[in-house]
Chains A and B, each alone.
Chain A
Amino acid sequence: MRITAVDPRAHALGLSPGMALADARAILPDLAAHDAAPAADQDWIERIADLCERYTPMVALDEADGITLDITGCAHLLGGEDGLVADLEARLAAWSGQVRHAVAGSPDGAQALARFQTMPAASEAAALRRLDVAALRLPDETLVALRRAGLKTLGDLAGRPSAPIAARFGEETTETLARLLGDLDNRIQPRRRLPAMFFERRFAEPIARTEHVLEVIEDLATEAAAALAERHKGGRRFAVRLFRSDGQVRDLAVETGLPARDPPTLMRLFRERIDALADPLDPGFGFDMLRFVVPRIEPLAPTQLQLEGGAIGDDAMAALVDRLSTRVGRTRIRRFVARDSHIPEQGVLSIPALDAPTAPVPAWQPLDPGEPPLRPIHLFDPPQRIEVMAEVPDGPPHRFRWRRTLHDVTRFEGPERIAAEWWKRIDAAGLTRDYYRVEDTRGRRFWIFRHGLYDREKSDPDWYVHGLFA
C-alpha cells in the first residue's frame, strides 16, 4: 500500500506521496491512514468545476487536482481578472482545502504557474522562465536527463537552440515548452459540451423561496419556447442549473418522450420533479444565478399519438411496480430475497421492490426432487414458547403444549442442529438449536426446536414452535 496524499503535518514529518505505508508506519507508528477515495476526490473537483461554470462555460479539468478556466471576455463582468479571482477565492473559502491559482496568457502557462511557481516575479514571462523544468510535466526520465544536462529551469531551455533539444528529448519537450511560454496557440477542451441553447438570469439579491425559483424557471422556459418556436424545434431534455451563493450547484432535469416546448407542460414536469426530490431544494443563503439549458433539440413534428399504444411486454410488471411504488410509497411494495444464513429467520429478507439487490443474491436452497420441504412456509416471529416432554439429552419430543392445547407427537424427523453465529455475540457463546419436524395426532405439522444443547449449554433447555407446515 502506498501513500497517495499527505496533510501538511505529515509532510512536515517527512512523509510524502509514493511512500509505502509500511515505511511510513515505521517512522510514525500512530499515523492515521485513510483509504484513498479517488471517486470522491473526482466528485469533489467536479463540484468545484461546476461552481466555476458561473464564470464561463469553458471549464476544463487539469489532472486530478486542477481546474482551468478560459476567462477570455468574461472577467469584465466581475471587475476584471482581479475581481474574478477575488470572487472565486471568496466562494472557495468555505470549501476545505488549499487553493493556488495563476492567471496567464496561455492555459499551459497558467497551469504551470499555479502548480510550480515558488517565488514572485516581475512579469509573467520572467515567472515562467524561472520555473523548474518539472513544470513541463514530462516523464521523470526526461526531467532527470534535462537536469543532468544542467538545464534546470524553463529559462535554461528557452535560451538555447531548440533543434538539439528536440533531437535529444523529443519534439514533445520543445512543443510543451512553446505552449507553456505562449509561443504556440492552445485552447482548453471544456469538460462539458456547450449546450445548444441556454438562458441565464443573475440576481443582485439571492433568491431562496422555491416559488420564486419556479417563477424564474417559467420566465426562462418562456424565453426558450420562443427561441425554439422560431426554429421549429422542440427539446427532449430541459435542465436547470441553480448556482448557490456559497458555490454549491444543483441541477434539475426533465425529459420528455417526444420533443416539447410548451411552457405549461414543462412547468408541470419541473414541479413534479421538485416535489419528488428526496430532500427539498435547499437554497442555503439563496441562489444568485440560474441557467436554463436545452441540451437536446429535435424537430418538433406535430404527430398524433396512438391511444391503443404498444403491447404490454416483459416490462409490464416492472412498470406496475414503478407505478404502485410511486403512488403508495416505495417502501410499501416489497420483495423477498434469499439471504445466505443458516439461521432460519435470517435466511430471508424483504426489501423495497424498487431497490435492485445490491449484492448478487444467493439462490434459494434447492430441494432434492422427491424430498419434502425441510422449512415451513410460515415462520413465527418471534418463535413461540411451548412446554415439551422429550427424551434427554437430544431425543425427540413426545408431547407438547402450544397455545394451551396439548399435541401428541405421532411422527417426527430430526434433529436438524443449527449452531448460533458465534461471531455476532461478544461472549462467543449462543445456544444451539435442535429443530424437529413433527406431526400430531390430527395430522398437523409443526416445526419446533429445543433451544440449547442439554447439559452442554443449558441444564434445562426451552422449546419453541418456530413455524407451521402447510
Chain B
Amino acid sequence: MTAFAELVAASNYSFLRGAAHPHEMVAEALRLGLDGIGLADRNTVAGVVRAHVALESAVKEAAAAGLPALPFRLVVGARLVFSDDTPDIIAYPATRFGWGRLTRLLTLGNLRAEKGDCELHFADLLDHHEDLLLIVLGKEQDLGVLQRLRAACDDRVWLGVTMLRQGRDRRMLARMQAVAQAANVPLLATNDALYAGPAQRPLHDVLTCILHGTTITTAGRILAANAERHLKPADEMVRLFRDCPDAVAQSRVILDRITFTLRDLSYEYPHEPIPYGWEPQDWLEHIVLEAAHQRYGETLSPKVEALLAEEFHLIRQQKYAFYFLTVHDLVRFARAQTPPILCQGRGSAANSIVCFLLGVTSVDPVQHDLLFSRFVSEERSEPPDIDVDFEHERREEVMQYVYRRYGRHRAGIAATVIHYRPRSAVREVGKVLGFTEDVTARLGSTVWGSFASKLEDRRYADAGLDPTNPAIARLKGLVEQILEFPRHLSQHVGGFVLTQDRLDETVPIHNGAMADRTFIEWDKDDIDALGLMKVDVLALGMLTCIRKSFDLMRRHGLGDHDLEVDIAADDPAVYDMLCKGDSIGVFQVESRAQINMLPRLKPRSLYDLTVQVAIVRPGPIQGEMVHPYLRRRSGIEKVDYPSPAPPHNPNELKDLLGKTFGVPLFQEQAMKLAIVAAAFTPSEANQLRRAMATFRHTGGMDGFRTKMVEGMAARGYDRDFAERCFQQIEGFGSYGFPESHALSFARLVYVSSWIKCHQPAVFACALLNAQPMGFYAPAQIVRDAREHGIAVHPVDINASDWDNSLEPDAAGVLGLRLGFRQMDGFRRAWADALVAARARGPFASVEALARRAALPQRALRLLADVDAFGSIALDRRQALWEVRRTPDAALPLFAAASARELGEEPDMALPLMSAAEQVVVDYKTLRLSLKDHPMSFLRAMLTDEGISSCARTSAVKAGSRVRTAGIVLIRQRPGNGNAIFVTIEDETGVTNVVIWARLFETVRAQVMGSRLMLIEGEVQRSPEGVVHLMANRVHDRSALLDTLGEDTAVRVPLARADEMVRPVPPRHPRDARIVPKSRDFH
C-alpha cells in the first residue's frame, strides 16, 4: 500500500475557513490510516498545540491499550497567505531553527498589520526561508514564483496539486506537471483539506457565509460546489492521482525530511534578576534567608528551618529558582514605586514560605497551616503557578515594566481564544440560515446564564420554538457544531510569557487591541502543555481600595500601614463585626449570600475566612456540603469521617478532611479524595483536574464519574457520599476554588474588614474612590457609612475635591465629604481647575467660580444640578437660575473678559422646590441623596394602604404575612434558577425577598420592570436571625416614584451586581477564577 500523508490541512484556527477542530483532523487522519498529517492554518500556529496534545494523548491511549507504537506523524506549520499576489504557500519547519524562522516571519506580518491581521509579502518569505519546506499552491501563472523559490531554497520547494473533481482536474494536473517540470520542483498530492469528513460541508458553508456576511440562500458560488475538501485515505489518493503517482509519494518524502516537533521547544527562564557571579539558586536562597532573619530574628525556629529546607530542595530539584526570582522582581518593582503599588500573590504558592519572605504573599505559613503544604508537586513536572494581583488602577505600570525589562522580543501576553458561545452562535448561524433577528434574539435572550454551553431543548421551547421542527432542528444541529469553535484570538487579562531567548522564535507575536500591548498566539492551556513559564499580572480592585485607605490613614495621622497590617489576623473586634454580617464593601464576603452565611459560619480565624470565601460557591453547594459543614461546625452534628471497608485504613480521610470537619470543601480536597478514596493514580487525578477545568466545553466527565463512584464504592464507601463528592467536583468545573487561592483572598478579606472595623469613614471613602468595583452602588456604600454613624457631607464647591475625602469635625471625628467624581458627566479637568482656583480662597458667587476656575457652562450646570452651592447659600433652584445666565468662561479669554457685568433682573418669584423634588433630583444627578429617602415621602400613603416598612418587616414574628414595598436594589437568579432573590430598600432598611421560579413566571413583568416593588408574602427567620420575605404576590408600584416631583422617571441606582441589567459577565470563563463569581444559594 502506498504511503500518504495529507500535508495541506487547515483547522478551525483558520478562523471561519476551516470547519473542524485540530483534534478532529488528527483523529480522522489516524482513523483513515494515513502516515501523517500536516496542520497549517492561515498565517497562524494557534491551533497546532491542540493537535499536538490530541496526538500525544492518542499515543498514550494506544500504549495503555497495549497497541504497537503509532507510526503516525504530525507536522506543524502555517499556511502563508500573502497580501501581494503571491499564491498561498504552506511552510513546514524541518528543524527547530526553521520553526524560529517561521514564527519570526509571522510576527513580522502580524506587527506590520492592524490587530488580527497579518500582512506578508513574498520578499519576507525570501528573508526567512531557511530550514522551511515550502508547498506552493499555485496555478500556471505562478511559474515565476516557483522558479524564484527554487533558486533560493533549492530542493525545499513543492508544487501542491489537488484533484477536487472540478471537471477538468486531469487536464489541469497535466499542465501543472509541465509547470513543475519547468520549475524543476516535484508535485505534491493534497486535498487542501478544510474539514475532516464530507459530512462537515454544511458547517463549512455556514462558516463561509459568516465570513462573507451573507446568508446561505444568497451566497451562491461563494460556497464550495461540492464536499471534496476533506481528508481522504491513501488508496483513494492513489486512484485520483494515477496519472502522477509520484505526487502521492512525495508526501512521505516531506514527512521524512521534517525532524521538528513541538517537543523541541525547550524553554529557558529569563536570567535577568541575578547579580553577576551568582548562581540562581544560591541567590534565591541568599535573599530568602536574609529576609527570614529580618523577620524572625537571628535564630530561625526549627519549623522555619524545616519549611525552608523543604522548599529549597524542591526548587533546586525542579530548577525553578529563575521563576521565583522573576516573580520577586515584579513584586520588588511594584513596591519600589512612589507611591508603592500594592500587590499580593496567590495560587499554589500562597502557602510557600519562600514566597512569603520574598514579599509575594502576605500569609505567614508559620502561623497559618494549610492542608496542602506542597506549593509544587514533584510528580507533575509543571511550573508552579503564581498569580500576582496588583491594584487595578496601576497594573498597567507593572505590565509596561515587564516589557521594558525583558524587551518586547522576550515578553508577551498569553492569548485567550474567544469561542462561540450559545448566544453568538445562535445569532450568527441563525442569520446565515435566514432566521429573523427576532427569532434568534428570542433564543439568545432565554440563555440566562451565559455560560450554559449547551443550548438545551428547553431553551428552544422557552422561546416558543419547536425543536422537532426541521428548520429549527437544523439550526440547533449547526449551533451545536459551532459551539466552542474559536472565533478570534484576544489577549489574556495578564498572563505574561517570558523567555531568555527571543520569544518570537518560539511563538508568533501579535499587536494587542490596546496600544503598547503585544500578545502571543497561544493560550494558557497551550503554554501549560508546552511547559512555558507564565506569570499572571492581574488587576484587583480591592487592592486599589486598600491602598487608598492606607493613603488616607497616613494623611490623617492614623498610622502607616501596608498589606502586612495586623499580620496575626486575630483581632476579635474584626470577627465580631463579620459575625454580625456587617460586611458591605468587604472583599469577597459582601454578597447577600455571603452576608447571610457570616452569622451562620461565625468566623473567628483566618482559616475560617478561607472557608467562608470558598464555601459559597457552586462546588460545595451542588455537592450539598454546606449544611453538613455548618451543622458539624456548630456541634449539632457529630463529626465523623467516612471510612472504607476493611482491609483499608479506616482513618485514611481523617488527615485530609480533618480541618473541615469531615466535609470536603476545597478543590484540592476533592482531588485528593479521588486519589486516596477512589484509588486514582496521580496522573489520572491530573486528567480529572484538566477535565474539570474544561468539562463545560467538552463534556467527557462521565467516564470519571463511573470511575470515582465505583472506585469509592469498591473500597466500601457509602455510594451516596461518593456521588456527592463527584457532584462537588463537577460544581468546581468552571469556578474551581482551591484552598490556596482562598487563603490569599481570606487575607484580603481580613485586611479590608480590619479597615472597615477600625476606620469605617476611611474605608467608605476609599471604596467610593475605587469605584467601579465590588457589589454595591455608591448609594448603598454611603447608606452603610451613615448607618455606622459617619457624617456624610454633600458635594460642595468650597469643600469637595475630585475624590471623596475625609473631613474632621470640631471634635476631630472624621466625616465623609462627597467628591466631584460622584457626579455623572463631571470631568476631572474641571475639578482640578476648581480646586486649584480655590487655593486662593473660597468662592463667594457663581460668577466668581466661573471666572476664577474658567469653568464652562456645562460644568456649572452640573454643579448646580447636584446642589453644590450650599456653602454660598444658594439652593439648587437658585443656583441653576444663576448659573444659566453666567457667561461660558471656557470661551476665549477676550470674549469672557468683554462679557458685560450681569445686571439686575426683575424678581422671578420662582416657586420653592419641595423636599421630595430635591431628593428625586439628587437621585437623578448623584444617584444618591443625603437629604432623605424617596420612600419616606410615600410613607404616609403606604401606611394608609397597610404596607409595612422594611424595618417592621424585619421585626415581625416569623410566619407573619406582610406587605412590604421598597426600591429594588438587586435581582439575582443564582445557580439552578429555582428562586429569584430580590433586595428592596426603604428609608428604614432593606428586605430580602425570595420569589420561587413558579411564581416568577407569572409575575415576570413586575419583577423585571419594577423600580418600586410591592411584595405580599410571609416572613421567615433563620435561627441566626436572617430574615427573608417569601413572596406570594408581587406588584409594580414604580408609578408612585413618578409622583414625587419631576414628571420624568426617577432613576433608581441598581447595585452593580444586578443580574437582570447585566446578565453577561464580560469575562471569558477560563478567566473566571481571577475574581470567582459569587453565587447565591438557598
A contacts, CB < 8 Å to B = 1, 13-14, 21-22, 25-30, 33, 132, 144-145, 147-152, 160-161, 163-164, 167-169, 339-342, 362, 365, 371, 374, 394, 413-419, 422-423, 426-428, 432, 434-435, 437, 456
Contacts and interface: CB of A to CB of B under 8 A. Distances in A.
Contact of B202 (A29, A160, A428): A428
B216 A423 contact: yes
Nearest to A22: B445
Contact of A25 (B217, B445, B470): B445
Interface stretch (B123-131, B273-281, B366-374, B873-881): B873-881
A422 B218 contact: no
B438 A341 contact: no
A188 B328 CA distance: 78
B1047 interface: yes
Nearest to A168: B884
Given A147-B1046, A164-B905, A168-B885, A25 B441 contact: yes
A14 B445 contact: no
Interface string B137-169: 000000000000000000000000000111110
Contact of A27 (B164, B167, B1005): B1005
Contacts of A132: 1047
Contact of A149 (B171, B228, B881): B881
A435 B167 contact: yes
Interface stretch (B343-351, B642-650, B651-659, B907-915): B907-915
Nearest to B1061: A23
B921 interface: yes
Contact of A434 (B165, B227, B910): B165
Nearest to A165: B908
A21 B205 CA distance: 31
B880 A149 contact: yes
Contact of A422 (B168, B202, B464, B471): B202
Contact of B885 (A167, A394, A434): A167
Interface in B449-479: 462-464, 470-471, 474
Contacts of B219: 340
A308 to B, nearest CB: 49
11 contacts: A14-B1009, A27-B1009, A132-B1047, A148-B921, A160-B908, A362-B220, A362-B221, A365-B221, A374-B168, A414-B167, A423-B216
A429 B1005 CA distance: 44
B223 A342 contact: yes
B1004 interface: yes
Contact of A341 (B168, B221, B1008): B221
B951 to A, nearest CB: 29
Nearest to B140: A368
Given A27-B1005, A415-B165, 5 more contacts: A147-B1047, A164-B885, A342-B220, A374-B167, A423-B217
Contacts of A148: 865, 876-877, 880, 913, 921, 1046
B877 A164 contact: no
A437 B1047 CA distance: 78
B908 A164 contact: yes
A161 B908 contact: yes
Interface of B: 164-168, 170-171, 198, 201-202, 205, 216-223, 225-228, 433, 437-438, 441-442, 445-446, 462-464, 470-471, 474, 861, 865, 876-877, 880-881, 884-885, 905-906, 908-913, 921, 1004-1005, 1008-1009, 1036, 1038, 1046-1048, 1060
A273 to B, nearest CB: 38
A132 B470 CA distance: 55
Contact of B166 (A28, A168, A416, A422): A416
A253 to B, nearest CB: 37
A21 B1046 CA distance: 26
A417 B201 contact: no
A14 B906 CA distance: 44
Contacts of B168: 371, 374, 413, 416
Contacts of A33: 438
Contacts of A414: 165, 167
Nearest to B925: A148
Nearest to B865: A148
A450 B438 CA distance: 42
- Pairs of residues from A and B, 3 with the lowest C-beta to C-beta distance, nearest first: A340-B220, A416-B167, A168-B884
Given A413-B168, A413-B171, A416-B166, A29 B881 contact: no
A295 to B, nearest CB: 42
Contacts of A30: 464
B867 to A, nearest CB: 11
Given A25-B441, A29-B442, A426-B470, A413 B167 contact: yes
Nearest to B434: A423
Nearest to B227: A419
A362 B214 CA distance: 15
B883 to A, nearest CB: 9
A415 B169 CA distance: 8
Contacts of B205: 422-423
A413 to B, nearest CB: 6
Nearest to A21: B441
